[in-house]
Amino acid sequence: MSEAPPTAVFDPLAHPPKLNIGCGWDKRPGYLNVDFQDFHEPDLVADARDLSVLPSGRYTDIVAQDVLEHLEREEVDPALTEWSRLLAVGGRLVLRVPDIIGVARVMADLDTVDEQRKLIQNLYGTQAYTGDYHHAGFTELTLRHSLHQVGLQVVEMVRKDEWMFDCVAEKVVDPGRFEPGPLPFMRLCDHDQPGGTIRVVPDDASSVDRVMSSVANRVPAGPRQSARKVWRPIRRQLAKRGLV
């Protein structure tokens, strides 16, 4: 009788020093693709919360795109601690997570049940299988704080599709004191921005026309969403006065 072949021992050093955690179907060449669902056929089946099979300080790049929100709230900071452990100093963590304030901003501009339900699904996850539910959400402040706590310095943060953050954070030796800075993504309305205030106090039809034409010059060229964001608070103010 022939013997069963020995189980292959996972050798992390045989893989590139780049991780794609919670890879799903987005398996990236040049990365060790990790997921806890084996049906995704990752290079390594492992839980993002416990990657003790991987060595500390080895990785130059870790991608975790649309993953952190799948962990329970209390697990987010420990998972970030684990990912920070894996990074070499100067290594980068590339995150994509939902931005709760971004979701609220977009939601306020959506007019139909279908559009609103789609965004609610984005916020809570598709919920098709275990691991496909969202348990956590972020604001610019909470995300910056969590990253700082685990020794990661934000080097880039942008909004993606108006309701997520794409964030790059670098492992540093000493993150210093937590100084959150001006936090531009904490604003719910564009007209809250300094210099961006639009005051509309029309009291007759001709002032409405004047306001509308001056406002028209302020509507940025660009996607329909941006124009709607500018118009909506103005229309609301006009409607309050029974002028539209």
Identity of the residue, 34 or 154, whose beta carbon is nearer to ligand SAM in the bound complex: 34
Please report whether residue 12 would count as binding ligand SAM according to CB under 6 A. Answer: no
Identity of the residue, 42 or 151, whose beta carbon is nearer to ligand SAM in the bound complex: 42
Work out the angle between the directed axes of helices 113-124 and 100-108 (0-180°, nearest 10).
Answer: 180
Which one of 17, 22, 98, 151 is in contact with ligand SAM (CB under 6 A)?
Answer: 22
Binding footprint of ligand SAM, residue count (CB under 6 A): 16
Contact 20, 31 (CB under 8 A): yes
Touching ligand SAM, residues 122-161 (CB under 6 A): 131
Which one of 31, 54, 61, 65 is in contact with ligand SAM (CB under 6 A)?
Answer: 65
**How many Å apart are CA 178 and CA 10, to the nearest integer?**
38
Q: Distances from the Cα of 146 to the Cαs of 23, 191, 201, in angstroms?
A: 22, 29, 43
**How many Å apart are CA 194 and CA 204, to the nearest integer?**
28
Q: Which stretch binds ligand SAM (CB under 6 A): 20-28, 157-165, 176-184, 226-234?
A: 20-28
The b-or-e profile of 225-243 (16+ CB within 10 A means b, else e) is eeeebbbebbbebbeeeeb
Please report whether residue 26 would count as binding ligand SAM according to CB under 6 A. Answer: yes
Least Å distance, CB 135 to ligand SAM, is 10
Closest CA to 96 of 36, 164, 162, 18: 164
Contact 193, 183 (CB under 8 A): no
Please report whether residue 48 would count as binding ligand SAM according to CB under 6 A. Answer: yes
Site string for ligand SAM, 89-128 (x = CB under 6 A): ----------------------------------------
Least Å distance, CB 35 to ligand SAM, is 5
Tokens standing for residue 125: 């996850």
Residues of the shown chain interacting with ligand SAM in the complex, contacts defined by CB under 6 A = 22-24, 26, 35-37, 40, 47-49, 65-67, 70, 131
